[in-house]
Every structure is written in C-alpha cells, then in structure tokens.
C-alpha cells in the first residue's frame, strides 16, 4: 500500500511517497497526479525516501508521468531514492530519462528559492 502526501511550494508540488508502489495502489497515485497537473505547476518533485518497493506496473506509471510532464512542459524530479530503488532505476535505464537527485541537492536547488 502506498501513502502519498502532497506539499505545495509557491510554483511546484512535492509528492512524498511512503510504502510500496504496486499495481493495486496506482489509481490513487494517478488521481493525485491528475489533480496536480491540472494546476499547471512548473515542477513536480517525487520524494522517494520512504518508498520501499516498486513493481513493473508502477514503473510504467512513472514513465507515463514523465511523458505527461514533458508534454505539459513540467519539470519532473525524483529525489532521495533508497539503494534498491536506485538499482532498479539503473538496471531499467530510467536514470537516462528521469532527473534523479539527492535530497540535499534538491533542497539546495529548489527549496531555497521557494520558501
């Protein structure tokens, strides 16, 4: 089961994901994504610090989010991935497409100007 907390910072949103991102919980995440994208933010960041596992259906959804963000000129950033999620992103070459960064770099680059 996935828990999603949404945080708004002036011009962008942060989705804080906790738990397991699997097929059964994707509808909930897609609904949240649709609501956020409707507001036309400049950036959407996905905090993966508390994301434990992810399945292939969820990877497909993240790719959909990436493509949707590109079509709508929204920057999408994933940050603070744990080691198993990092390995998954590396083995599936998602890091070639997604912007992935550390929490510190994200905070320094984006939150300092959004406070």
How high is the pLDDT of residue 113? 61
CATH number for 2-111: choose from 3.30.750.24, 3.40.50.10860, 3.40.50.880, 3.40.190.10: 3.30.750.24
Tally of CB atoms within 10 A around 35: 11
Which residues is 75 bridged to in the sheet? 43
The CA distance from 5 to 27, in Å, is 15
Q: Are 26 and 1 in contact (CB under 8 A)?
A: no
What are the domain boundaries of the chain? 2-111
For 19-71, the pLDDT digits (tens) are: 999 999 999 999 999 999 999 999 999 999 999 999 999 999 999 999 999 99
Looking at the chain, list the stretches that DSSP marks H as alpha helix, in order from N- to C-terminal side: 26-38, 56-71, 83-91, 103-106
pTM: 0.93
């Amino acid at each position: 089961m996935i828990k999603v907390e949404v945080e708004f910072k002036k011009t962008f949103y942060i989705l804080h994901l906790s738990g397991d991102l699997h097929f059964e919980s994707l509808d909930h995440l897609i609904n949240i994504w649709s609501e956020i994208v409707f507001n036309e933010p400049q950036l959407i960041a996905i905090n993966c610090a508390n994301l434990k596992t992810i399945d292939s259906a969820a990877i497909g959804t993240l790719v959909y989010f990436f493509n949707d963000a590109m079509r709508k000129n929204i920057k999408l950033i994933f940050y603070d991935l744990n080691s198993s999620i990092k390995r998954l992103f590396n083995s599936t070459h998602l890091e070639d497409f997604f912007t992935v960064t550390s929490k510190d770099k994200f905070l320094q680059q984006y939150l300092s100007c959004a406070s």
